[in-house]
Structure 1
Amino acid sequence: MNILIVTDAWEPQVNGVVRTLKQTRRELEKLGHAVELITPQNFTTFPCPTYPEIRLSWRPRKKIAARIEAFRPDAIHIATEGPLGLAARKYCIRHKLPFTTAYHSRFPEYVQLRFGIPVSWTYRWLANFHNAAEATMAPTRVVVDDLKARGFTRTVMWSRGVDLDIFKPVAREKLQTRRPIFVYVGRVAVEKNVEAFLELELPGSKWVCGDGPAAAALKAKYPGVNWLGVLSQAELAEVYSAADVFVFPSRTDTFGLVLLEAMACGCPVAAYPVTGPIDVIGNDGPGALQEDLQAACLAALKIDRTEVRRFAERFSWAAASRQFLSHLHPFTPAAQQELQLSMQAAK
């Protein structure tokens, strides 16, 4: 089956959306499907206001139409709500083609933090965007229920996975600073609430791996923190393994792939008890979830790393991608039959 995925989030961005789509494409191709991605790399782009690392496509409508018609997809998935997603959605509606969408992040909360626009306004716009789809995939049951409460009509769950061959416990030598070592990995931006971690009075040392619009200001404000920038997956596995606690200060993430990556390397998690950490970790086991983030960090030091790794082994990209596949809406009876046969073979 030919599966087309349209996304405004792509390289050089390093985030959960990009990683999810890469892993999903890989798993779908293993099952014999042809997967084409339409990304900003195929278009003239301009920097997103307040976030220049994100490139927005300029007037993509005609080129989107040409790419869709050249690939002749059997199913279309629109991963994001940016210029490419909007153009693809308009094409599908005009040509009466069913499509699916995904809700990856707490975009309304991000918009409110950056521009002061009320959350209710953005959710109303997003509901209108996604309700034209046959299904809107969200990463956890809590997010699915939240979207339904906000007027989304066809929400379904599409979970996430972790590459257990890359993210695994290795020698704990990467970070040569005073222990215990507390690490944050991810985008350094206001919506990630990184400063809540940096301002904690913790023993040992702190590290940040990642980059973003808030990085320069935070480096200047917290000179005692160690910074590594953006790393490869193999390098991240070394960082997670060397750390004593992975600190996840975000209150707005819908899932948090980095949670799974850290746990797969045996690193316990400290986080707030909010959507994302609660859905992935639960109330006990591989992490400490408390409103007092400092107390959570200290409690996480006591967690058995072997049990943390064992917990992460429950998640696989193969299972997550089969779930994604099951939600697609092929255009023709022949493609629908092919999808059903693929699902049976993948069990």
Structure 2
Amino acid sequence: MDVSLVCDVMMDLQGAIRPAVYLAYELTKRGYKVSIFSPIISRDVEEHLRTFGITPVNLHVRPFAKYSGFSLLWFELWAREALFRLNSKHIFAHSPVTINFSHTFAVSSRFWYVQGPTSVALRDGENELLGVYKFGYKILEPTINYADKRLVKDMAKRTVFIIANSDFCASIYKNWGISIRGVIYPPIDCKIFQPHTSRPSSDYVLTYFGKETEFTVIKAVADSGVSIKAFGAKLPFMPKSLSSHPNVDFLGRVSTDTLVELYSNALFTFFPFTHEPFGYIPVESMACGTPVLTYNMQGPRESVIDGHTGWLVESSQELIHKALRLWKQGYAPQIRSNCVKMASMFDRKFYVKKWLETLKSENSG
């Protein structure tokens, strides 16, 4: 049986790419002929997929922002489809899609795995935009909102069943009048993300720099004397005062092995965000035995248990105060083992099992 999957840009195999790739691995093992379509696939990823018997279909989309950072590339690919349907025309000549993991291809599919509308992410992150980016967003906001809703509704019409990556994510689409068939949480690999040491150094707090990061909160914590290590992409709208801060060690993009070591040795992972439908960072951190301090809202509220695997707070001021308290006073050692146990519920084997059950149920129906 042929299975076609569609996903976003595949420069590596991390983040939002994992749901498609992990399912493709399992389906290939079970004898399915699997193809993965993507607007851009790096040569390394193409070779990796082929070694597992998966056929990569690189659509060779040529965006202007290809070398301008992932955030701008992500937005341009969305705009190409939302405004002009330029991405999906590359797929129409191929067989029907089994599962669409992307928000940038309005193609007919049996399943669409939704991971959050672009317009909502931009709206929630507006306060963190700087200068020309904030000015540009304010001008384009009405067009973005209209085009995104139109795109989502068009994609929903082309889909038989829609699966969300969290209850929070499902609620967004339901508010837009979109019917959600169920929720399947994204996966991590607990054989990779596990404690690196039994004696963590606990001499820094780990955080992430990305397009959903609340940089103002991180700076406030750094200003208070907390030693912070940060990983992620260098963003055009990231405050220079933060990247050059004496208490912030910005490491840029790191390998998975390095990331596991960073998680494992951190006192806690600090995750202030503007918008997060699910949140890989909290789950990866917990899998490595490190608790998470974040907001009591959206996706992270569904994985972090307050007082058991981390701490959930209601406001940015509370987040800052709690970070300082934990830095000075620490926490009970038992929390680290609680984290590992909780994160195991998000292991890829459970994710794949749920997808296989869903595919079998809907296809037999």
Which bracket does the TM-score occupy, shorter chain normalised?
0.7 to 0.9
1:128-187: per-residue Cα shift (whole Å, max 9, x none)?
134211122211223223321221123421112221111111137998xxx5411113x5
Q: Does 1:321 align with 2:346?
A: no
The 3-state SS of whatever aligns with 2:351 is helix
Deviation at 1:21, TM superposition (A): 2.4
Q: Does 1:8 align with 2:29?
A: no
What is residue 23 of structure 1 aligned with on the other side? 22
In structure 2, C-alpha distance between the alignment counterparts of 1:23 and 1:255, rounded to whole Å:
17
1:3 aligned partner, one-letter code? V
In structure 1, C-alpha distance between the alignment counterparts of 2:258 and 2:184, rounded to whole Å:
28
Q: Does 1:107 align with 2:134?
A: no
Cα pair 1:8 1:40 within 8 Å, conserved? yes
In structure 2, C-alpha distance between the alignment counterparts of 1:27 and 1:10, rounded to whole Å:
19
In structure 2, C-alpha distance between the alignment counterparts of 1:198 and 1:323, rounded to whole Å:
40
In structure 2, C-alpha distance between the alignment counterparts of 1:28 and 1:193, rounded to whole Å:
38
2:172 equivalent among 137, 146, 157: 146
Cα pair 1:271 1:296 within 8 Å, conserved? no
Deviation at 1:60, TM superposition (A): 4.7
Deviation at 1:127, TM superposition (A): 3.9
Residues 193 and 39 of structure 1: CA distance in aligned 2, closer, same or farther (over 3 Å): same
What is residue 130 of structure 2 aligned with on the other side? none
In structure 1, C-alpha distance between the alignment counterparts of 2:204 and 2:349, rounded to whole Å:
32
1:250 equivalent among 250, 265, 273: 273
Deviation at 1:203, TM superposition (A): 4.5
Aligned 1:82-93 pairs, distance under 5 A: 82=104, 85-86=105-106, 89=107, 92=108
2:197 aligned partner, one-letter code? A
Residues 141 and 52 of structure 1: CA distance in aligned 2, closer, same or farther (over 3 Å): closer
Deviating more after overlay: 158-167 vs 112-121: 112-121
2:213 aligned partner, one-letter code? K
Deviating more after overlay: 212-221 vs 289-298: 212-221
What is residue 47 of structure 1 aligned with on the other side? 64
In structure 2, C-alpha distance between the alignment counterparts of 1:155 and 1:125, rounded to whole Å:
20
Residues 170 and 99 of structure 1: CA distance in aligned 2, closer, same or farther (over 3 Å): same
Deviation at 1:306, TM superposition (A): 1.6
The 3-state SS of whatever aligns with 2:23 is helix
Residues 296 and 224 of structure 1: CA distance in aligned 2, closer, same or farther (over 3 Å): closer
User: What is the percentage of aligned positions where both structures have the same residue?
Assistant: 20
**Superposition RMSD in Å:** 3.2
Cα pair 1:99 1:328 within 8 Å, conserved? no
1:206-249: per-residue Cα shift (whole Å, max 9, x none)?
01111142347355553431011111212111010111110111
Cα pair 1:206 1:226 within 8 Å, conserved? yes
What is residue 336 of structure 1 aligned with on the other side? 363
Residues 216 and 193 of structure 1: CA distance in aligned 2, closer, same or farther (over 3 Å): closer
Deviation at 1:24, TM superposition (A): 2.6
Residues 47 and 242 of structure 1: CA distance in aligned 2, closer, same or farther (over 3 Å): farther
Cα pair 1:193 1:251 within 8 Å, conserved? yes
The 3-state SS of whatever aligns with 1:236 is helix
1:37-74: per-residue Cα shift (whole Å, max 9, x none)?
111232131134984454738945554234x24xxx6x
1:263-318: per-residue Cα shift (whole Å, max 9, x none)?
01101100011111111113441010112112332348314212211221222212
Deviating more after overlay: 289-298 vs 113-122: 113-122
In structure 1, C-alpha distance between the alignment counterparts of 2:300 and 2:19, rounded to whole Å:
17
How many aligned residue pairs are there?
312
In structure 2, C-alpha distance between the alignment counterparts of 1:148 and 1:35, rounded to whole Å:
31
The 3-state SS of whatever aligns with 1:134 is strand
What is residue 169 of structure 1 aligned with on the other side? 195
Q: Does 1:131 align with 2:156?
A: yes
The 3-state SS of whatever aligns with 2:284 is helix
The 3-state SS of whatever aligns with 1:45 is coil
1:301-339: per-residue Cα shift (whole Å, max 9, x none)?
314212211221222212112323444499xxxx935xx
Q: Which ranges in structure 1 are unaligned for 5 or more consecutive residues?
A: 93-97, 341-347
1:96-154: per-residue Cα shift (whole Å, max 9, x none)?
xx522122135222333362315864663254134211122211223223321221123
In structure 1, C-alpha distance between the alignment counterparts of 2:266 and 2:198, rounded to whole Å:
8
Aligned 1:223-242 pairs, distance under 5 A: 223-242=246-265
What is residue 95 of structure 1 aligned with on the other side? none
2:173 aligned partner, one-letter code? L
Residues 324 and 221 of structure 1: CA distance in aligned 2, closer, same or farther (over 3 Å): same
Cα pair 1:77 1:101 within 8 Å, conserved? yes
Cα pair 1:8 1:39 within 8 Å, conserved? yes
Cα pair 2:116 2:169 within 8 Å, conserved? no
